[in-house]
Amino acid sequence: MSLMQHGRSTSFGLLVSVISAATFGMSGAFIKPLLESGWSPVAAVTMRALIGGVVLLPFALVAVRGRWAAVWRGRWRLLGMALVGVAGTQVLYFAAIQRIPVSTGILVEYLAPVLLVAVVWARTRKAPRLVVLAGSVVAVAGLVLVVSPGGAGAIDPLGLLLAVAAMVGCAAFYVIAARPSDGLPPVALASGGLLLGAAALAAVGATGLLPVTVSFADVPLFGNPTAWWVPLLVVGVVATAIAYAASITATEILGSRLASFTGLLEVVAATLYAWLLLGERLSLTQLFGGLLILGGIALVRADRGDEAAPRRVSRRTRGRVPTSAAPSQEPTAPLG
């Protein structure tokens, strides 16, 4: 891949990643009215994953037609996406925010990009370049300003531990999405992961570990009473189906490190949607935090040390190392 082609591919990946963040960020503003009307988090997330998986299923079936062997080869990646990327991370996050402030939970979970940088540092025993470290610091500072973590008194240790586990799950999502596709289309990974994840969430709900309640009463939306299924459909189609497919596609192109930093824009998008749709407060400090996150992403993107972006493995080249490229230092899960 030439430098020009790589640059175009990265630009496309960044665009898709921004779309992913913008669509993921809608979930909070549309799910909140459901939660306030009596839906439990597990019930809402299960339905969200189920709707998203069903919406993507026809596209996934068309994409894998004649390539069912790729689905079998990617079975562990599908299972990891379902149990970690869809079910595990969300259950851990919702369990965490039952014990600690929501803003604190978000802050801890979205430290995942820093965790990925640290993992690469530990695995390679090579310190990240200064521009990556600077980008990490700037992006985390922006994240702190956007979420404005609060909550008086001592933080519940178990809640904090659950939030850290959710952070690990979030980082694992990007690692799983960044692995070589080996012929498995991103839409198939997204659909399969969501459907299997919905099944896993339903199983968790059936055990009684977390409450499962639903309500069919109208919910307030845009200042008017709205049928309960309207926000659920918006979340399922836009903030789940489109968001997951876009995120996996972008991560395959960008690698888990850059994609995870770009994913911080989801927090900015969620804040903007809450301001526009729910009338929640939006301060100049939060806007400045959003600019810092953008600056951190730009700094991480400026690192040219990992120009070998993850590539999709075609059926023609599977099992062979391209002669035009040096062997990857991280063949199983590129983190950059």
Q: Tell me the per-residue pLDDT of 100-151, one tens digit each, with 9 for 90 and over.
A: 776 777 888 888 888 898 888 888 888 888 888 898 899 889 888 888 755 5
The 3-state secondary structure of 94-153, one letter per residue: HHHHCCCCHHHHHHHHCCHHHHHHHHHHHHHCCCCCHHHHHHHHHHHHHHHHHHCCCCCC
- The pLDDT of 96-102, averaged and rounded, is 75
Rounded distance between C-alpha atoms, residue 51 and residue 88, angstroms: 18
pTM: 0.79
- The pLDDT of 156-165, averaged and rounded, is 88
From 261, 336, 264, 263, select the one nearest 303 (Cα to Cα).
336
Collapsing DSSP states into helix, strand and coil, what is residue 221?
Answer: strand
Confidence category of residue 329, pLDDT binned at 50, 70, 90: very low
User: What pLDDT was estimated at residue 332?
Assistant: 30
Residue boundaries of the structural domains of the chain: 3-150+157-218+228-302
Confidence category of residue 233, pLDDT binned at 50, 70, 90: very high
Helix axes 284-302, 265-278, angle to 10 degrees: 150
- Mean pLDDT, the chain, rounded, equals 82
Q: What are phi and psi of 226, to 5 degrees?
A: -135, 145
Q: Exposed/middle/buried for 190, CB within 10 Å: 0-12, 13-18, 19+?
A: buried
Lowest mean pLDDT among 4-18, 100-114, 153-167, 296-310: 296-310
From 176, 209, 210, select the one nearest 84 (Cα to Cα).
176
User: What pLDDT was estimated at residue 157?
Assistant: 86
pLDDT at residue 160 is higher than 90: no
User: What pLDDT was estimated at residue 5?
Assistant: 61
Better-scored residue on pLDDT, 29 or 259 = 259
Rounded distance between C-alpha atoms, residue 289 and residue 142, angstroms: 4
